[in-house]
Amino acid sequence: MSVAGPMFKRTALELGGKNPTIVFADADFDAAVAGAVRAGFQNQGQICLCGSRVLVERGMYERFREAFVERVRALRVGDPMDAGTEQGSLVSAAHRGKVAAAVERARAEGGRVLCGGRAPERSELPERVRGGAYWLPTVIEGLPMTCATNQEEIFGPVVTIQAFSDEADAVRLANESVYGLAANVWTAEHARGMRMAEQLEFGIVWINTWMLRDLRVPFGGMKRSGVGREGGEEALRFFAEPKSVTWPG
């Protein structure tokens, strides 16, 4: 942006995210647990749209946390050539180092690691991939939303989880971020889903799903998650110059 600005070049930026998964007590429990696991750990969390902050209504928090952690622990880490593998290697050893540093920082901030929190031992991996940059799926509890772990994108298989009290609290916690790319909301109440969508400061809001894409729908974020939109007519407008022609009489 700094290079393009002085040249008056239009700049579209698709940047990072620190996306919330918001689960209300009336949600389909099993679907919400599965959705939160998928949103948090698909592609080892190396997707800008991943839901790395899980917010759960307080009345069902303990039950949800137990089921969520159980599902995360059960994710099969292994050889990506094996059809049963659910978690592969991170993109590089250097990036794994960054993820490891982020988890250590979370511990220093007072976070409790509920599962994962380390690289697997070589003996825990199939022989063919023992040189890979693996990291076990990690869930961390007990951190305030203002801490670095909840504010900075880790881009790995690391998710935080915390409770909220009501809709207003959920919106406050979700929006308490410099990023605004994507959010997913789980609720049985259509009106609540729409109220949340209106108040959430994110360019993409999924309700009772995650990563359901249509290339005709604008894609992009608010705040530090980017500038401009991809997809559909919004993308075409970016590449066009509107012209006004007036002919009196």
Mean pLDDT of 205-221: 94
The alpha-helical segments, DSSP class H, found in the chain are: 29-41, 61-74, 93-108, 148-151, 167-175, 190-199, 232-238
Q: What is the CATH number of domain 18-203?
A: 3.40.309.10
Active-site amino acid positions: 14, 48
The predicted model scores a pTM of 0.94
Q: Where are the domains of the chain?
A: 18-203
- Residue 122's pLDDT is 95
Give me the amino acid identity at 28: D
- Tell me the per-residue pLDDT of 20-78, one tens digit each, with 9 for 90 and over: 999 999 999 999 999 999 999 999 999 999 999 999 999 999 999 999 999 999 999 99
Tokens for 34? 């599965």
